[in-house]
C-alpha cells in the first residue's frame, strides 16, 4: 500500500498515516493475506491446477480485490471456459 486509503497521503511504509493518523496495521494485514492467496494461486497455475487457483483467487478477492487478483481471476475464468468447451466437444465424439 503506497497511499493512505482514507486521505491518499503517501505512506512510505509507515503503519500510521502521518496526515490523518489512521492506524493501518489491520489494512496492511488484509492486503498481505490477499497477496499470499494470489501467490498461491499463481503457484497452482504453474502446476496446471486451475481449479485450486480459482478457489484461492475467490478467497483473495473476498479478502482484498487487488488489481492483480482481478486480472488473474479473469484469466482463470477464461481457462476454465476453454477447458469446459474442450471437454464438451470431446464428449461429442463419444
Contact residues for Zn ion (CB under 5 A)? 4, 6-7, 9, 17, 19-20, 22
CB of 78 to Zn ion, least distance (A): 37
Which residue do the cell numbers 476454465 mark?
80
CB of 29 to Zn ion, least distance (A): 17
Can you tell me the distance from the alpha carbon of 56 to that of 37, in angstroms, rounded to the nearest whole number? Answer: 6
Q: Is 27 exposed, middle or buried (0-12, 13-18, 19+ CB in 10 A)?
A: middle
**Nearer to Zn ion by C-beta: 20 or 65?**
20
**Nearer to Zn ion by C-beta: 5 or 81?**
5
**Nearer to Zn ion by C-beta: 9 or 40?**
9
Can you tell me the distance from the alpha carbon of 77 to that of 69, in angstroms, rounded to the nearest whole number? Answer: 12
CB of 3 to Zn ion, least distance (A): 8
Amino acid at each position: 500500500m503506497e497511499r493512505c486509503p482514507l486521505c491518499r497521503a503517501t505512506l512510505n511504509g509507515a503503519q500510521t498515516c502521518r496526515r490523518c493518523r489512521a492506524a493501518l496495521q489491520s489494512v496492511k494485514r488484509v492486503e498481505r493475506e490477499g497477496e499470499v492467496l494470489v501467490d498461491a494461486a499463481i503457484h497452482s497455475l504453474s502446476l496446471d491446477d486451475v481449479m485450486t487457483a480459482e478457489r484461492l483467487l475467490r478467497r483473495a478477492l473476498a479478502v482484498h480485490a487487488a488489481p492483480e487478483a482481478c486480472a488473474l481471476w479473469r484469466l482463470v475464468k477464461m481457462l476454465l471456459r476453454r477447458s469446459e468447451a474442450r471437454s464438451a466437444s470431446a464428449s461429442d465424439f463419444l
